[in-house]
Every structure is written in structure tokens, then in C-alpha cells.
Structure 1
Amino acid sequence: MRKCIKGILTTIGVAGGIVGGLWIGTKLTSETKVQHIKPYFKRRSPYILAHRGGMALAPEHTKLAFDKSSEFNVEGFEIDIRLTKDEEIVVMHDAYVDRTSNGAGRVSSMTLAELKELDFGHHFRDVEGNTPFRGHDDAKILTLKELLENYPDKLVNIDIKDKPETYEGSLMPTVLYRLIKELGAEDRVLVTSFHDSQINRFRLYSGDEIALGAGEEQVTKAYFSFKTGFKHLYQPNADTFQIPVNIKGYPLDNEKFIAFLQNMNVAVGYWVINDMDKMDELIQKGAHTIVTDFPDISHHLMKQRY
């Protein structure tokens, strides 16, 4: 038994020595990459972005929502995009229109003209349970072009939703890049996705020209490096992390994790934050961006404390 314990301790000691040696060796030879700050991030922080235009106040992703959140002086909007059958980029979260409109079907199977016929205020209910925007002229789907042209002073955080393995997903990075270039919007858009491959595809066109977010794989890699003590090995490949406060029980609102990313000029944003105290806590910890369904709540916070 003693020999067994001794053998285990020896193995642990050898493994520890290997890990320790690896840590020292990589620490001495690695050089942390510090990101160049893109124009998108050169306004005064913290940024308040209205989630889907401010979906708690008006039908998500409609002119009604963007107009309403603009009244509360948000820095910009966090939006989702999808490609239509006729290859137009529309501001839309779901793959299907069923939840948010009086229609049914896949966005990618419908033309822009067909989508424009739908009422995206049909299902929205206010705090009293009423449907005040049903049939409203501004409760229509918007194209990304319309959004960027109608709100020229706002920053726009664009999340590519179409999956990379789909036809529409394979087209989206190039169609999106061409539109941004056409409108000269390079300095006021941030492009991101849960799918790292979509971000990488877009980067093939944009290079270092347009601000990019981190996908799930990169966030996981960064957090693992941070928690295991090998954070000196992490090399950022994004300008910002847009993350929840925790995932699967792991707290991502750790002040030291925020500082770790900030030291590489990686801005840290959190979604979806709808509680004023939590917004304040995150900003105090160093959060650069707060994405919220309630731009009215964030407005009151900013007026009172910032």
C-alpha cells in the first residue's frame, strides 16, 4: 500500500514538474498580442445597445423599436440578420417568421416583398397585455440597408444568424461585407456570430478593417486559458467579447477576467442585462457594453450615476 501511495505521489510530482516547466517555458517565450482599437470603439464608454432594437418596449427589430430606443439616447443597436430568398439582408432573429409576425415560413424561403407584407407587430403585447402595434405602418421588417441609412449616428452590433452550412449562410459574409462597403459604414458596425466560422469567413473580406466579435469557441478558449493559469498563451482574434454573465455555471462577469481581456484591448460586453443594479455592477467591474431589452432602464441609470 505504501509503495502504491509512493508511486502515485511520484507520478503527481512528475506531472506537476512537467506542467510547471511548460508554464515557465511558455511564459518566457510568449508575447501577448494587444489589439489595435478600431474606430467603432473610440466613443466614450460604457455603450448601451438596445437588444433587437429594444424588444421590451416595441416589436423587436422594427422601426417602432429603433425609434423608441433612440429616445433614450442609446449608443446603438444590437441586431440579428438573415438572408432572404432574393438575397436581401433583413434584420431578423428567428429563422421563421411565425413567432414575430402574422405569417408563417422560413425567412430564407421568402422574398423581401413577401416579408414586407407581414405585420411584425401582430404578437407584441405591452405590460398590460394589449397589442398596441398590431397593424401599425412601422411594424414592418427592415433591411439592414434601411437600418444603417435611417440611423446614421448609431452604432450597430450585427449578429449573423444563418448557419454556415446553409446556402444562405454561405452567402451572408460576402453579401454583408459588400453592403457595409457600399454604405461606407465600416467604422460604425461590429460583426459577430455564435458561429466562429462565420466570423472567420467575414474576416477573409474585411481583414482588419471592421470590428469583429468573438464566437463561442474563442470565448471558451480565452476563459480556459484564464482559469488554468495559461492566460499568457491566449492570443485574441476579436475586438470584443459579447457574453452572458455566466454559462453552464461558470461566471463570466469575473472582474479579473474582464481586466484580462481589457489588457489586450478586447472590449467586454454583456447580454441581456435588464436589471439596473446588475448594469451598474457590470459597469463598475469594467464592462464596456451593456445590451438590454429595456433602454429606458439603462437611460435612468446613466442619468443618475454616469
Structure 2
Amino acid sequence: MKHFLLACILISFFSCNTTRKDSKLIEVFKASNTQLPHVSVHRGGKGLAFYPENCLETIQYVNDSISAIYEIDVAQTKDSVLVLMHDNAIDRTSTGTGLVKNLTYESLKSFNLVDDYGNKTAYKIPLFKDVLSWCKANNVVLTIDVKGSVSQEVVINAIRAVKAEDVCILITYDVQQAKSAYNLAPDLLLSVSARNETEFNNLLDANIPTKNMLAFTGTRLSNVTLYEKLHSQNIVCMLGTLGNLDQQAKTKNDTSYKIWQDLGVDIFATDRPFAVYNSIN
């Protein structure tokens, strides 16, 4: 009997110590929170002269001017180092060439990042852990796009290694990815694909708690009833204006962003962060 009680105590002790607290973002990112940042900066910043995408210095530059969150892309090198890179190859965004998965981090260090206009910069391909550490120290929120060269678990472990759970949102693109991410990290906020009511209902059927959801509603305007349904669950709605909608807004002197906000959009994932910020503020 004594051994049984001791076993119960030990199980209880270890259970309590392995239970993780929810990321603070789960409480902050609520549709009812009027103090949310309304801008998500695509690839950490695009179209900026001498400031490349997926670059820590670019995030720092944008962050000095506006309140925003930052979408970044995480890939894995041949020697299993996590870096920021959107494409499978480094040719477009750096002075080097080749696939990320075929290159070691040591070889990546010899190349420089280039901006969207082909200008070589002094900046290097950043380590994911360095970006996490800076964002944690400066309370800057990241939405993390896990590229095909790396598993969700590896990225989650990297987040945990620097205790950056309170500044990280994990991006998922379908129900299976959302289920996998939730099972691996039920304490993290997830960006989930909810472009219509069917997709949202599928997420609910997967038993993913709504508190863990930030709804990415796609790159086209959805029916207002979708925004209303998501808001009734206190879920934040993010619209991807990058591409066509950004260009449409540009032709209308950026007045479209405020109109879309009034329809129910909480956050704009955009290539034009300064324009969006100025328009809705």
C-alpha cells in the first residue's frame, strides 16, 4: 500500500511539473481585445530597399516605426541548423546558390542577403534561434511558417529551447497540420486556415480548442458571416492582403484597408505594412 501511495505521489509530481502554461498570446489574441496589433509583416518585410526579407535587421527596422507582428519562414540546412529562408533555394534572396537542404550553415555564412531589387546588403542569413532570442527580449511577436525541409516538432523544440513560447504563433495550412501542431504544443497559439465556414467547422470537429486559434481567412475577402461567426467565438480574423488586395488598396489611396477592417478583419498580413498601419490608424 505504501508503495502504491508513493507511486501516486510521484506520478502527480511529475505530471504537475510537465504541464505547460498557455502562451500569453492565447489570452492576448482575442477578437474582443481592441489593443491588438493590426499588421502582420509578410516575410518580415518585403519591397524595402536595402532591407531583405526574412532578415533580423529588417524586422528591427520595421519594428522601430510601427506596431506589428512578423511572419517569417523557417528552413533547415544540410547539418540540421534552422535558418530564415522562404525559398527552397537561396539564389533569389542571397549572393549564393543552391538548395538550403544541400548546404551547411557554415557555407551559408559566406553569403550575403540581397533585397527585392537585387541590392547586396551587409546582412547574413539569420539563425532562427537568434531571431527568437531578439524577439523574446523585445516582446516582438512572430508567426512562424514551417517550410517543407523541417518538421513542426523541430521548430517547436527550438522555440522551447529559448523559452520563446510567449512570442510565437505557429502557422498551419490545413486541419491535419493544425491537429499535429496542437498535439505537439497545446500551449501555443496556432494560425489556422479558416477561409470559409466549412474549413472552420472541420477545425471544430478536430477538437482543437478555439482559444488556440487565430483564423487566417485567406487572400480573398470572405463573406461577412464568416467574420461574425469567428468573432462570436472570440477568434481573431487575419486577412492576407499580400498580392492582389494590396495592389487594389494602393489604387484607392489605401482607403480599402479601413473598409475591410470595418467588415471584420482584425489583422492584415501584408507586403505594405507602413501603408496599412497609417491607413487604419
Instruction: Look up the SS of the partner of 1:157 in the other structure.
Output: strand
Structure 1 residues 234, 67: closer, same or farther in 2, change over 3 A? Answer: closer
Is the 1:51–1:292 contact (alpha carbons within 8 Å) kept by the matching residues of 2?
Answer: yes
Look up the match of 1:265: 234
Q: What TM-score do the two structures reach when normalised by structure 1?
A: 0.69
1:78-132 CA-partner distances (Å, limit 9, x unpaired): 11111111212211111111221222211111111212222221x632xxxxx5x
The answer to whether 1:184 aligns with 2:163 is yes
How far apart are the structure 2 equivalents of 1:255 and 1:197? 26
Look up the match of 2:145: 159
Candidates 91, 116, 136, aligned match of 1:124: 116
1:20-59 CA-partner distances (Å, limit 9, x unpaired): xxxxxxxxxxxxxxxx981351662242121111112131
Compute the RMSD of aligned alpha carbons: 2.7
Letter in 1 for 2:81: E
Look up the match of 1:67: 60
Matches within 5 A, 1:34-73: 38-41=26-29, 44-57=35-48, 58-73=51-66
Q: Which range moves more in the overlay, 63-72 or 236-245? A: 236-245
Instruction: Look up the SS of the partner of 1:101 in the other structure.
Output: coil
The runs of at least 4 consecutive aligned structure 1 residues that moved more than 4 Å come to 231-236
- Structure 1 residue 225: deviation in Å? 7.0
Specify every segment of 5 or more residues in structure 1 that has no aligned partner in the other structure, as ranges.
1-35, 126-130, 163-167
How far apart are the structure 2 equivalents of 1:200 and 1:161? 17
Instruction: Look up the SS of the partner of 1:117 in the other structure.
Output: coil
Structure 1 residues 39, 146: closer, same or farther in 2, change over 3 A? Answer: farther
Look up the match of 2:122: 137
Candidates 118, 133, 143, aligned match of 1:149: 133
Is the 1:239–1:265 contact (alpha carbons within 8 Å) kept by the matching residues of 2?
Answer: no
Instruction: Look up the SS of the partner of 2:71 in the other structure.
Output: strand
How far apart are the structure 2 equivalents of 1:195 and 1:113? 34
Q: What TM-score do the two structures reach when normalised by structure 2?
A: 0.75
Instruction: Look up the SS of the partner of 1:149 in the other structure.
Output: helix
1:138-194 CA-partner distances (Å, limit 9, x unpaired): 2x11122111222332110111121xxxxx44xx22211111112221122110133
The percent identity for this pair of structures is: 22
Is the 2:113–2:122 contact (alpha carbons within 8 Å) kept by the matching residues of 1?
Answer: no
Is the 1:46–1:289 contact (alpha carbons within 8 Å) kept by the matching residues of 2?
Answer: yes
How far apart are the structure 1 equivalents of 2:88 and 2:216? 21
How far apart are the structure 1 equivalents of 2:129 and 2:257? 31
Structure 1 residues 82, 199: closer, same or farther in 2, change over 3 A? Answer: farther
Larger Rg: 1
State the aligned residue count: 238
Letter in 2 for 1:56: G
Is the 2:141–2:168 contact (alpha carbons within 8 Å) kept by the matching residues of 1?
Answer: yes
Instruction: Look up the SS of the partner of 2:192 in the other structure.
Output: coil
How far apart are the structure 1 equivalents of 2:67 and 2:101? 30
- Structure 1 residue 259: deviation in Å? 0.8
How far apart are the structure 2 equivalents of 1:195 and 1:225? 8
- Structure 1 residue 281: deviation in Å? 1.9
Instruction: Look up the SS of the partner of 1:214 in the other structure.
Output: strand
Letter in 2 for 1:147: V
Specify every segment of 5 or more residues in structure 2 that has no aligned partner in the other structure, as ranges.
1-23
Candidates 77, 80, 84, aligned match of 2:70: 77
Letter in 2 for 1:263: S
Is the 2:175–2:202 contact (alpha carbons within 8 Å) kept by the matching residues of 1?
Answer: no
Look up the match of 2:264: 286
Instruction: Look up the SS of the partner of 1:114 in the other structure.
Output: helix
How far apart are the structure 2 equivalents of 1:142 and 1:232? 36
How far apart are the structure 1 equivalents of 2:231 and 2:40? 19
How far apart are the structure 2 equivalents of 1:234 and 1:71? 38
Matches within 5 A, 1:106-125: 106-121=99-114, 124-125=116-117
How far apart are the structure 1 equivalents of 2:116 and 2:203? 47
Candidates 210, 220, 224, aligned match of 2:188: 210
Candidates 236, 240, 244, aligned match of 2:214: 240
Instruction: Look up the SS of the partner of 2:73 in the other structure.
Output: strand
How far apart are the structure 2 equivalents of 1:75 and 1:159? 17
